[in-house]
Every structure is written in structure tokens, then in C-alpha cells.
Amino acid sequence: MIGYSLSAQDAESLLKAVGQNMDKISRFEADALVKVDVDFINIKDRKMKVRFESPDKFSFEAEGLALLPKKGLQMDYLQLLKGKYTAIDVGEELVKNRKTRIIKVIPEAEDSDVILAQLWIDTELTRIMRMKTYTRKSGSYIIDFEYNTNFRPLPDLLTVSFEINNMAFPSKAMNEMMTKGFQKPDSIPKKATVIVQYSNYKIVNK
Amino acid sequence: MRKLVSIELFKIFSKPRTYIGFGAIIIIVLAIEFGILLEGDTMMGIIIQNIKDRFIFEGNIINLYLVSYIILNTLWIHVPILVALVTGDMLAGEANSGTFRLILTRPISRVQLVLAKFIAGWIYAVMLVAVMAILSIGIGLVLFGPGDLLVVTNKVNVFSANDVLWRFGGAYAYGILSMTTVAALSFLLSAFADNSIGPIIGTVAMIIGITIISTVGASLLGPVNKYIFTSYLPSWQLFFQTDSGLSTMGHAILIQAIYITGFLGVTIWYFRKKDILS
């Protein structure tokens, strides 16, 4: 019981440290290259400008039309860590040769979209290496963070993975039915991966 | 021949019904453009509902290319009717008004007359498609501006703005070919009739009827479907696919060309031996 309480406090302290690491940033701007890898979506890589202003204001400026994952790009974990939650330390794991602690986070707010999140936190640099989230509205997704430098908590590569169904689109052109006949929608969920490569960070600290 | 075609064009553009076609195109394009201007967000919400809970779209989805693409879809319903309205009247109208006897006393062969009429009808069809293209792109540019094109069928395709114009060029060119097939069919029916109502309605009925039969009985008529011209009327869509769409374009063009040649050939053969009784 005491051991569990101590462990829960350690988990919470670690999460707080991650939040504080991010809180040091007043605003930042970066270039991003977005690659969408989904079986039924054809879109070329898109260049984008990402801007952030503390505490949680994100804006994106894309060349043309860009498809961005609903979760993952806007540091959703910041929202999670600012609310009330229960943190459970479930062990350690090596992620990309970094020693991480695995912490399960259960938001206490009843109306929270996030049901459960699991974070792999680099204990030395106090930043997230991986995050797995289960949500009410958007299903589950995994975010992998890669960093090219030890000096900032912002990633250089973000990989967001989730599953998506290719259901029959309501605007399925009639001519497709004419030439191919009615096709049953593919009900097997497809794996979707969105890779965002960040560069040219311009960071302003508080 | 040029003189004959000019005369036939003069006859076409002297008739009020010709302007119904252009008027209808203008109304349809304006209605769609302003409809999308007012309710485009709701419409797009329905179209992308399957991926909206996983993705957000950053950028200008509703732009001139999307609107022009939507207007292109009218090519397989509205425009064939407007084409048949004129080309279905080209031979039947002359028979009805009793002017064949007068024309055929002139030193022109029946073949020359039929070809001149067909070419004039074709020019009218080209003008209809051209007006549709210019209006949809022109008004779209003013109301919406350019942007990447989002095409949602059984896949989600996003075409960059600099990769779209040639696709529209190809689609409109193929649209002209499709409408030439419709013109040739209504022209053929016009040769058999003494009243233009029959060929006009007959053309539309045949296109819609064959389309319904080949759709509903797709599994039964599968082997035959690839030889029916109605299966290829909307093949302009192939220009907006990324997966080997254009490789089947050659087959579509060939089928259309065969039908155009066939319809026109039968028209010429029949008209040459037809007794002019009116």
C-alpha cells in the first residue's frame, strides 16, 4: 500500500516534470513535412508551418490541402496532464535505446474524451518517447516521438498510427457502379500512419 | 462542305430551342456554384464524414477545381439531353417542315448533306461543353479561388493544384467525345423520324434505360457491359484517378469511336436510300 502510494507519487512527479519541461516554452514555430500512409488515401507529402503559443494554441499553415491526424499534432498530452488524473507506474522499457518508465494515466473528469493513456517517459531527459491513447470519439492511436537533440522537449519526428475503416463513401460516383457494379465496402480496418518531420525550430522560452 | 456546315450552323442558331441548351447550362452552373457557396461546408461534411473523426483537413477544400469537378458530373445527365434537343431535330425537323425536297434538288449529295448536318451538330455539342467549362472555371475562380482538388470515390485522392489543369483538359476533351456519341445516336434516330420529339426522347430514354439495365443487372450483363457505349460516357472520371485509370481510357475512346462511326454510318446508309415523301 505504502509502496503503491510512493510509486503513484513518483509517477505523478515524473508527469509533472514533463509538463513543466513544456511549460518553459512560450511559443515556437517550425517547418513540418507531413506524410500520410493509408491504403485508400492518395496524397503527396505536404509542407507546413506549425506555430504554437502557450498555453495550448496551435496553428497550421499548409501548402495546398493537407490531411492531419486529429490527435497527436497538438500535443494532446499537455491537455491530459493539466487536468486531474490517476497515474500508475507499470514498469520500465527500452524505447529507441532510451530507458523509459511506463505510466498509465486515467483522467478523472467524466467528460474527458481520453479514457486511458499510456506514456513511455524518458526519465533522464523528462520527455515522452511514446504515447498510446484510447479515446471515446476517435478510437485509439499511438504516437512515437523521435528527438535529434537532447536540448529541447520538442520532437524532430512524430509518427501517429491508428486504424481507420474504408467504408463506402456516400458520394461514390454512380459511374463506378455502372462500370464495376455495386462493391461491398471493405469492413476490415486499415492501418494508417502519419509521419510529421519537424525542422527549423524557432523557440522562444519564458 | 464548309459552306454547307455554315448554313447548317446558321439554321441551328436561328432556332430558339438551341438557346435552351445554353440557358440551361448557365442556370445549372450558377445554381451549383452558388449552392456550394452557401452550403458547401455541409456538403463536404457529408462527403468526408468517414474520415473526419480521424483526420482534419487543413487548407481550402472548397475551391474552383472541386466545384468544376462537381459540375462535370452533370455531363452524364443534363448535357446529353441538351445535345439531343438539337441534334435530334436536325433531320427529323427538315422532314417535318418538308424542306428536304427543296434542299435535295440542289447539286449536293445526300452524303454531303448528312455529314454537314452532323458536323454542325457536333460543333453545337462542343460549344455546349466549352461554355460549361469556361463558366464553371471562370465563376469558380471568382467565387472560390484555386486550391488542391479532393476527389472522394472508393478512395480519397488529393491532387495538387499544379497537377489538376491537364486532368480537366483531358476530362472536357473526353466529355466532348461522349457528347459526340450522344449526338450521333440522336442524329441516327432523327433520320428515321418525321418529328423531332421521338429522336430527342428516344435518345434520352435509351441512354437512361441502358444505364439502369447495365447497373441493376451488372452481374448478368458483366461480359457485355464493356462493349456498351453508356458504360463509357462517364469515363472522364478516369482522369481523376491515380491507379492506372488512364490505361483503360484507350479502350473507352475506341468504343466511343466505334459507336460514333457506326451510328453515323447507318445514318448515311439509311438516308441515301430513304424516299423523301414529305
Is the CB of residue B146 less than 8 Å away from at least one CB of chain A? Answer: no
- A144-163 residues touching B, CB cutoff 8 A: 162
A contacts of B76 (beta carbons < 8 Å): 174-175
Output the CA–CA distances (angstroms, integers) from residue B274 to A193, B86, B105, B187, in the order listed: 67, 22, 15, 15
A contacts of B157 (beta carbons < 8 Å): 42-43
Neighbours of B269 (CB within 10 A): 13
Q: Can you give the pLDDT at residue A187?
A: 64
- Determine whether the interchain pair A138/B53 forms a contact, defined as Cβ–Cβ distance below 8 Å: yes
Residue A45 confidence class, pLDDT cut points 50, 70, 90: very high
ipTM over 0.85: no
- Determine whether the interchain pair A181/B211 forms a contact, defined as Cβ–Cβ distance below 8 Å: no
For B244, the grid coordinates are: 492506372
Neighbours of A80 (CB within 10 A): 20
The DSSP output letter for B95 is H
pLDDT digits (tens), chain B, 278 positions: 888 899 999 999 998 889 999 999 999 999 999 999 998 888 888 777 777 778 888 888 899 999 999 998 876 778 899 999 999 999 998 888 888 888 888 888 889 999 999 999 999 999 999 999 999 999 999 999 999 999 988 788 999 999 999 999 999 999 999 999 999 999 999 999 888 899 999 999 999 888 888 887 766 667 788 888 888 888 888 888 876 666 788 888 999 999 999 999 999 999 988 887 76
Q: pLDDT for A154-173, tens place per residue?
A: 999 999 999 887 654 543 44
- Determine whether the interchain pair B218/A44 forms a contact, defined as Cβ–Cβ distance below 8 Å: no
* Tally of domains in chain A: 1
Q: How far is A187 from chain B (nearest CA, A)?
A: 12
Q: Report which residue type is found at B164.
A: V
Q: Which domain range does residue A130 map to? A: 2-205
Neighbours of B241 (CB within 10 A): 18
* d(C-alpha A41, C-alpha A202), whole Å: 32
* d(C-alpha A190, C-alpha A180), whole Å: 23
Strand pairing partners for A41? A38, B156
* d(C-alpha B233, C-alpha B262), whole Å: 16
Using alpha carbons only, how large is chain A's radius of gyration in Å?
19
Q: How far is B241 from chain A (nearest CA, A)?
A: 9
* d(C-alpha B88, C-alpha B187), whole Å: 5
Using alpha carbons, select from A59, A58, A100 the residue that is nearest to residue A75: A58
Q: Is the dihedral of CA B212, B213, B217, B223 positive or negative?
A: negative
Using alpha carbons, select from A198, A152, A119 the residue that is nearest to residue A21: A152
Q: How far is A130 from chain B (nearest CA, A)?
A: 19
Domain containing residue A174: CATH number? 2.50.20.10
Residue A2 confidence class, pLDDT cut points 50, 70, 90: very low
Burial of residue A29 (CB within 10 Å: 0-12, 13-18, 19+) is middle
| Cell 513518483 -> residue | A10
SS3 at position B23: helix
Q: pLDDT for A53-110, tens place per residue?
A: 988 888 999 888 999 988 888 887 778 888 889 999 999 999 988 999 999 999 998 8
